[in-house]
């Protein structure tokens, strides 16, 4: 049996992956630590809006909804979506 691997779940509210142009504050900032993590460690992008996080199609997500879905490990449909689907 192999030794256990360590894992980190890092949630950075407000740290988005944007267009990369001059209007993108994250892309224009000096972020050497985060750049190093992105280049050298496994990572994933998450969808944060609409049906991906249990909201109506096209609706922007928020921290509460995002944390709920990450913690549950699945899509948790919000009340409005559950009512519409009933």
Sorted by where each begins, the domain ranges of the chain are 25-85
At 72-86, the pLDDT tens digits run: 999 999 999 999 999
What is d(CA 20, CA 27) in angstroms, rounded to the nearest whole number?
Answer: 5
Between residues 40 and 14, the one the model is more confident about: 40
At 44-76, the pLDDT tens digits run: 888 999 999 999 999 999 999 999 999 999 999
Q: Which residues are catalytic?
A: 63
What is d(CA 60, CA 20) in angstroms, rounded to the nearest whole number?
Answer: 20
What is d(CA 46, CA 75) in angstroms, rounded to the nearest whole number?
Answer: 12
């Amino acid at each position: 049996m192999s030794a256990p691997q360590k894992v980190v779940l890092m949630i950075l509210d407000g740290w988005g992956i944007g267009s990369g142009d001059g209007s993108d504050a994250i892309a224009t900032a000096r972020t050497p630590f985060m750049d190093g993590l992105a280049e050298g460690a496994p990572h994933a992008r998450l969808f944060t809006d609409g049906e991906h996080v249990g909201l109506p199609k096209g609706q922007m997500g928020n921290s509460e909804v995002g944390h709920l879905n990450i913690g549950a490990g699945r899509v948790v449909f919000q009340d409005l979506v559950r009512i519409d689907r009933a």
